[in-house]
Amino acid sequence: DAKTTQPPSMDCAEGRAANLPCNHSTISGNEYVYWYRQIHSQGPQYIIHGLKNNETNEMASLIITEDRKSSTLILPHATLRDTAVYYCIVATDNNDMRFGAGTRLTVKP
């Protein structure tokens, strides 16, 4: 079973920031938070991951709360090509990854 809870769907206006929440209240100290996304009928694409500090890369930012029980993925300027299913996963390593149903983000013009 997935160890995370995400809203099933969200909408975002093109050019605005998309903030995708994830709850992981049972996360343990050695588990990372990973984010992947999957565009329809393609393989998932890695976005970002973190342990407890906030992280940023060219695709997104990851904000993890101090108690590590939740996190937010931020796409700073969403485009139509960001429409996808976004998966939040907690795992100690990649052999333990559990992909839930994710959040279906729709970016609208």
Partner 1 sequence: DGGITQSPKYLFRKEGQNVTLSCEQNLNHDAMYWYRQDPGQGLRLIYYSQIVNDFQKGDIAEGYSVSREKKESFPLTVTSAQKNPTAFYLCASSKAGGDTQYFGPGTRLTVL
Binding site for partner 1 (CB under 8 A): 2, 34, 41-46, 49, 87, 92-95, 97-102
Which residue reads 């559990």 in tokens? Answer: 98
> Among residues 4 and 70, whose Cβ is nearest to partner 1?
4
> Among residues 30 and 109, whose Cβ is nearest to partner 1?
30
Q: How far is the CB of 13 from partner 1 (least distance, A)?
A: 25
> Among residues 74 and 99, whose Cβ is nearest to partner 1?
99
Q: How far is the CB of 46 from partner 1 (least distance, A)?
A: 5
> Among residues 21 and 100, whose Cβ is nearest to partner 1?
100
Q: How far apart are CA 47 and CA 55, in angstroms?
A: 11
Q: How far is the CB of 100 from partner 1 (least distance, A)?
A: 5
